[in-house]
Structure 1
Amino acid sequence: MFYLPMIPCCLGEHEERKLIPLAPSSDDTLKHQDIKSSILFSKCTPHQLKRDILSSLAMSEMSNTERYLGIPAFWGKSKTQVLEFIKNRVKTKTQAWKQNLLSQAGREVMIKSVLNVISAYAMAIIKFPKSLCFQLNRIASSFRWGRKAEDKKFCWVSWQRASYPKYMGGMGFRDFEKFNLACLAKQGWHLLTDPDSQWARFIKAEMVRRQALFPGDSEFQQLLHVFRLLGTPTEKQWPGVTSLRDWHVYPQWEPQNLARAVPSLGPEGVDLLSKMLKYDPAERISAKVAMDHPYFDNLDKSQF
């Protein structure tokens, strides 16, 4: 949905509009890309220009209901309303299962193997509201004990107790709120245990600037921001980059002065950041070596 073989560029109000190709395309390429690709236009884009671009690229216009990796591409003010589709999917699954007249053991297996998986990816990257987690827990509990709107059965064990591991006397079910916190904590654990990863370095750079270093509404847009600041990687800078599986032909940008992007950093800080943002992992400074950089000379390292 985010990778485009061309970028629309308006040259001026009275000038001819052109499409700048980023990669050579064939009929077969467009045949595959028009299925998974779409374009988002601003409200000010003329309708005729929209039709021309869509016709040239053989793509469809993106709607407000589009999703990327199962997550809505557009978010409103209410996180609960945006994530409502997950609760609806869970509820639909439970209603379908009720029609199959599953046994208690069958319901337990379906909750653990199907219902919990529906929200797994979203919970790994998004903090769910407590109210939504409570509703998901209630749906799972009602399904486990066979409760219906017109036939409410007694819950012999609270869902909080049922979510305990079996060796602690529980039933091994998953509490959605705790699972959400555990998934997000796992991201923090990766940040602590793998400080030399590229995404960890981007986060550190954002903490220095107190704002996003490479802002963007999509992966492709963020990638272009990276190339505009650090320059488009070449085989000389990163041997083997053009043979990577997801590599495409991108616009060629020269590296910019990093000090302008982080004006709050001094020369030593800019030097450290530039070494942390090297494309080639072999040339990238490690966290251990970075601690000996002059930027941290005034830091009390006895506590580490």
Structure 2
Amino acid sequence: MKVVRKYGKASGQCINFDKSALLFGKRIAANDRKQIKDTLGIQNEGGMDTYLGIPEDISGSKCKLFAFLKEKLLHRVNDWTGRWLSKGGNEVLIKSILLALPTYVMSIFLLPLEICENLASAIAQFWWSSNPPKRGIHWAKWEKMCAPREDGVIGFCMIHEFNLALLAKQLWRLVQYPDSLVARVLQGKYYRLSSPLRIGAVDNPSYVWTSISAARKLLLLSIRSKMHSGYEVNVWQDPWIPSTPARPARTRAQ
């Protein structure tokens, strides 16, 4: 309870014990569970439900865990089967609704490639089918349909790449706002004496941190660091020298 109260003071959030739930491991005896419930004043048990659309228990097979995303997407598509829309209308529905459905989950977790392929397959079937739920002829590869609009195509999102981009945004926020509560919590556990962009292997990381770390390479491709004193620069590993051909020196604009 001291830890709970301390969290409430640090975050400014008041915990509602009536809506809270406890998640017990399989080895916790029934008597111990009852004693913990009575001590904390929380009688609900969790682990099998969802919170804000995300499963409470992130363990086991990730493909089975995130299979609900495809079911949710297919349920939405089935609601549209009776509507005869133009290709322009289908494009708006796909971009504004179908591709936006898993956005919240993808901003926190790295979806398995199998789930990304299943979602892309369901969206592609909806796009090419002229009489849903019958399968239509796919006249072009989905990768080509996801090319930029400047190339003269539709410009849908590649779900896996979109997932990494959302996770890279979370990692960038840890760099930009190191004094935020979530940044301080993650720093205390995973990169206490380093930076979120420089840490190596971590023992027993959470799936959230594993997901955020997966976007590190993508973020490093698009950022530059200021040298300052050079104390934190590793000349043997950091790409601080431009690649061949070397970039010429330029004067700073006045």
Tell me whether the two structures share a fold, i.e. TM-score over 0.5.
Answer: yes
Question: Deviation at 1:75?
Answer: 2.8
| Structure 2 residue identity aligned to 1:167 | E
Residues 14-25 of structure 1: pairs in structure 2 closer than 5 A: none
Contact 1:163 1:170 in 2 (8 A): yes
Correspondence 1:125 to 2:112:
no
Report the counterpart of residue 253 of structure 1 in structure 2. none
* Equivalent residue for 2:192, pick from 202, 205, 210: 205
**Percent of paired sites with the same residue:** 26
Report the counterpart of residue 68 of structure 1 in structure 2. 51
* Equivalent residue for 1:153, pick from 136, 147, 161: 136
Report the counterpart of residue 250 of structure 2 in structure 1. none
> Are the structure 2 counterparts of residues 153 and 189 from structure 1 closer, same or farther at C-alpha, using a change threshold of 3 Å?
same
Correspondence 1:57 to 2:57:
no
> Are the structure 2 counterparts of residues 216 and 104 from structure 1 closer, same or farther at C-alpha, using a change threshold of 3 Å?
closer
Aligned residues: 206
Contact 1:127 1:181 in 2 (8 A): yes
Normalized against structure 1, the TM-score is what?
0.53
Structure with max Cα Rg:
1
Structure 2: segments with no counterpart, 5+ residues: 9-13, 209-224, 242-254
Provide the rounded CA distance (Å) in 1 between the counterparts of 2:233 and 2:165: 35
Provide Cα deviations, 1:25-44, integer angstroms capped at 9, x if missing partner. Answer: xxxx99x642x321223443
Provide the rounded CA distance (Å) in 2 between the counterparts of 1:206 and 1:159: 44
> Are the structure 2 counterparts of residues 46 and 153 from structure 1 closer, same or farther at C-alpha, using a change threshold of 3 Å?
closer
Report SS of the residue matched to 1:185: helix
Report the counterpart of residue 97 of structure 1 in structure 2. 80
> Are the structure 2 counterparts of residues 164 and 217 from structure 1 closer, same or farther at C-alpha, using a change threshold of 3 Å?
closer
Report the counterpart of residue 81 of structure 1 in structure 2. 64
> Are the structure 2 counterparts of residues 172 and 55 from structure 1 closer, same or farther at C-alpha, using a change threshold of 3 Å?
same
Provide the rounded CA distance (Å) in 1 between the counterparts of 2:200 and 2:98: 41
> Are the structure 2 counterparts of residues 55 and 162 from structure 1 closer, same or farther at C-alpha, using a change threshold of 3 Å?
same
Normalized against structure 2, the TM-score is what?
0.62
Contact 1:142 1:148 in 2 (8 A): no
Contact 2:21 2:42 in 1 (8 A): no
| Structure 2 residue identity aligned to 1:61 | E
